[in-house]
């Protein structure tokens, strides 16, 4: 299948190597910077955008799901700007925000310079939210709000949180230290996580929290590439 793509080109159709600070850049970015509604349409065949600086120039397109970094930079600000472009809640064809991890998942094909950045970003999120990536503690679910008697809201509480932790351990979703196992990640992706009886009213909140905790980033070193030989069965 042939996919349309956007490159930075001049009026003669030649690819331009711009610095990000010239009049040529303004011309090159006009398509993707000024026609956002057109880009969001399902009938638009544009699938790839190769651009030098658009992600740093306030581009407000909410439907970004993949970012591939082709250059290596040690600038933390630049990385935050790039990642921030892909963290907006996406919209449907009516312009309404779409919620949920099933749709709002950003995949970043990064280079090794992102390793320290990713670790620091995760640490900041952990400090702000109290969530530890890849680790489920016995009190993790205690603050989940659950419907109480007479319509009043209450917290799930430590006892029920500990009971849920024990269930996850028995299902081999976590080890005895609470570390998330691949089986939990796979079942979360397949929407097939098993929860104990009595937690039905708060199962959406539990699954959402599990996805946040289990969704740690794994940065792989490109220098450890291996050649894999594929065999085809016809």
| List of residues 6+ apart from 18 with CB closer than 8 A | 8, 24, 25, 28, 52
Closest listed residue to residue 136, CA positions, set 91, 99, 110, 168: 168
**What would the pLDDT profile of 61-102 be if each residue is shown by its tens digit?**
788 888 887 777 777 887 887 777 777 888 887 888 888 766
pLDDT value, residue 15: 56
pLDDT value, residue 217: 47
Cβ pair 51, 60 in contact under 8 A: no
The full set of domain ranges for the chain reads 4-111, 130-214
pLDDT value, residue 233: 45
**What would the pLDDT profile of 109-160 be if each residue is shown by its tens digit?**
777 777 778 778 878 877 887 777 789 999 999 999 887 677 778 899 999 9
User: Which range is least confidently modeled, 12-16, 104-108, 173-177?
Assistant: 12-16
CA–CA distance, 55 with 57 (Å, rounded to integer): 6
pLDDT value, residue 100: 73
């Amino acid at each position: 299948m042939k996919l349309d793509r956007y490159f930075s080109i001049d009026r003669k159709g030649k690819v331009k190597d711009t610095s990000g600070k010239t009049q040529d850049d303004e011309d090159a970015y006009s398509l993707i910077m000024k026609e956002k509604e057109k880009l969001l349409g399902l009938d638009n065949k544009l699938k790839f955008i190769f651009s030098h600086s658009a992600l740093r120039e306030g581009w407000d397109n909410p439907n970004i799901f993949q970012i591939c970094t082709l250059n290596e930079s040690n600038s933390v600000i630049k990385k935050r700007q790039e990642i921030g472009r892909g963290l907006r809640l996406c919209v449907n064809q009516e312009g309404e925000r779409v919620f949920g991890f099933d749709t709002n998942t950003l995949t970043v094909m990064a280079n090794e310079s992102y390793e320290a950045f990713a670790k620091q970003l995760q640490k900041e999120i952990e400090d702000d939210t109290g969530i530890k990536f890849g680790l489920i503690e016995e009190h993790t679910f205690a603050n989940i709000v659950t419907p109480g008697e007479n319509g009043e809201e209450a917290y799930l509480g430590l006892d029920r949180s500990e009971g849920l932790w024990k269930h996850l351990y028995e299902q081999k979703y976590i080890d005895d230290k609470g570390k998330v196992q691949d089986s939990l990640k796979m079942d979360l992706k397949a929407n097939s996580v098993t929860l104990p009886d009595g937690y039905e009213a708060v199962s959406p909140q539990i699954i959402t929290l599990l996805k946040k905790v289990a969704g740690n980033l794994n940065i792989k070193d490109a220098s450890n590439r291996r050649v894999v030989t594929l065999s085809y069965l016809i």
